[in-house]
Amino acid sequence: MSNVAADAARMPTAMITGASRGLGAAIARALAPTHTLFLAGRPSPQLDAVADEFGATTWPVDFGDLDAIETAVEPIVELDVLIHNAGVAYPGRVAESSVDEWRATLQVNVLGVVALTLPLLPALRAAGGQVVFVNSGSGINASPGLAAYSASKFALRGFADSLRNDEPSLRVTSVHPGRIATEMQEDLVAYEGREYTASDYLSPETVAHVIADAVNAPRDAHIHEVIVRPR
């Protein structure tokens, strides 16, 4: 960890979840010039490849094992930015959904977020840091065919608002993108029985740019919410 500590002294630090591909990897690319990156997630060759590309450090965080998260992040004593990007979606209307799908969705999209945020609060407070929640348009208006996902994103928005109220030394930002051209989107379009065309949706790089702008906003600016939609 000595190299991590040395790097952190030169640049602000940012932890990103779900950075092995898609939007998470794009966020890492957008912040790499300005931040020392900690990529949190289940160990995988894909996550290692992103870390190698940007000279980042990986942190073994598994939302399937919430009890182990506190120990995993214990070495972090100061953190400037925490970006909650990891998420899952199981397409299905209410009557089509199962309790297991609801449990798995809430485990990653809500409980995992809480389990990672709580032990990092002292490090975030020490830096006067920022927490960014990658939410969704489904966290404002429930999306047809995404019952469990929409409910989880409403809960995530509630947690973000509570964190903002309870931790006045932190900046807390919820980002609500429209549909993004990712693997998750391909699965949703397939469920809807439509043809997937990436150009119909926001690119991961566009959303990552918006997030980086919120992170790099002047210190006296507290951006509570960002809503971005495809043109």
- What is the dihedral sign for C-alpha 214, 130, 175, 4? positive
Instruction: Give SS3 for 92.
Output: strand
Q: Please identify which of the residues 90, 149, 191, 201 carries the catalytic annotation.
A: 149
| 184: its two tokens | 């998750």
Tokens 């070495």 appear where? 75
For residues 111 and 117, give the distance between their C-alpha atoms in angstroms, rounded to a whole number.
10
Smallest CA-to-CA distance from 74 within 121, 109, 111, 112 is with: 121
Tokens representing 107 are 């485990």
What sign results for the dihedral spanned by CA atoms 12, 18, 23, 28? positive
Q: b/e per residue, 86-119, with b = 16+ CB within 10 A? A: bbbbbbbeeeebeeebbebbbbbbbbbbebbbee
- Assess whether 149 carries a catalytic annotation: yes
17, 41 contact by CB (below 8 A): yes
As annotated, the active-site residues are 149
